[in-house]
A and B are shown apart, each in its own frame.
Chain A
Amino acid sequence: MASPITAKEKPSENPILFVARPMATAARQFAKSLIRPATIVYPYERLEDPTFRDRVAVASGRPIGVGHVWDNYRGVHALNIATCISCNLCAFSCPDLCIEMVTVPGGDPKHPKKCPEIDYGKCSYCGFCSDACPEGCLTMTTRYELSVARRAEMVYSPEKLYDVFRTKLPMNPIRVERPANEDAILLDPPLCIGCNACSRDCPTQCITMLDIPKPAAKPGEKQTKRIWKEPVINDSDCVRCGTCISVCPKECLFWGTRK
């Protein structure tokens, strides 16, 4: 452990120097700046242009290009409507409640397809939604120019987000991996009434209703005519969106660790 250091005490100042040293430093900076100032002439020079990035870095003597690894930037979202499974995870994960799931064409009447509509007036660009997206269809791009004339234009409909996707901007390449042993959705069999709600609403169709053996009729009772079915969840396809849990009328699905 090094001894405590005392910041250098006042050096004796030569009064003849007076103002010469700072002026010399400023003049040196002036000379450097004549060649290439550090500023970026924004509308003409853009950070996301890689050739420009390197040119500036070399010319101004700065150690890194402006916006090194620019692709990681968290800007406007891009949505691939085709692969969206309407799992709602983006809307659930949004801390600012700026994502609303709106119906887009493509679903069947019973299960309308819903895709996120983002209000950029509220968005804080935290990236939780794109982290949460299990299919990688909602990502953040490097687009950052968002000024609009009217407030209503700040709300980006799924179609508009799809337009962003189609411009093929660099997508944020950082994907967060799923934890190896995460919780799965478990069933509490005695409570299940076999209503099929979970299977019907599952965005990934990973729940199948399987016949289960009928319980034997007790002596003196009539054999029930009801068909006994129970959900079986395919864990590898499940995206853990929890839709099944929320639609279950009997609350017989829950999170837990599969043995």
Chain B
Amino acid sequence: MAETPASAPGSAPAPALRLSGDFRHAGRPLFSGLDLPVEAGRWTCLLGPSGVGKSTILRLFADLDTGGTFDGEISASDGARVAGRVAFMAQTDLLAPWLDVMGNVTLGSRLRGERIDRARARDLIARVGLADHVEKAPARLSGGMRQRVALARVLMEDRPIVLLDEPFAALDARTRAEMQDLAFDTLKDRTVLLVTHDPAEAVRLGHRIFILAETGLSEVEAPALEPVRPVEARETMDMQVRLFRALRGEPA
């Protein structure tokens, strides 16, 4: 497989991740006996309906408040801690409205009190196609452009692990496809966990695809084609139907 060193994450190769255990919220189990592997340097899609704990799993990886108790283990294949090596992108773009595009992309450096590398930020902003909008306020950008800024911010953070919480869900179909292509291209060689409720998205992007339902976690074997998979390919379409059925609890 061809490597593109330019897009490879900063220093060490991206690790594989694993989350296993039980999670209880307000005394009720949300999931138990879960065992989710996330492959190193590839895209793992976690597909499922709302309210089964997809976002909770992301938040556990990122060491964010979940409002419940987790009993289990979160580990990385290189033995180091997962939290602190994670970049995060949510369904809402989470742009600070008082900062311009440059300010938002460099927010991490500012928050950590590091030197701000404007040249690199400018390159990344150009990479997501916003070279002409560096000094614009988020309020003056469209929804798709705002998610591009959020993506540039993730790239600026340059973490080996990227957690995506339905980041393309609020976009129109064409913009969503463009963003999927762009994200897949720019996040190459990083360990990506994408949470989504859209079977088509999982089929397009996932090296591996898991379905999380009330009954538990199950893997669906992804098509042999390499992602990003063309929508019109026979395997993609068949897979989409199977995922849709599986989501509805029907036999595949």
Partners in one complex: no
Chain A interfacial positions (CB closer than 8 Å to B): none
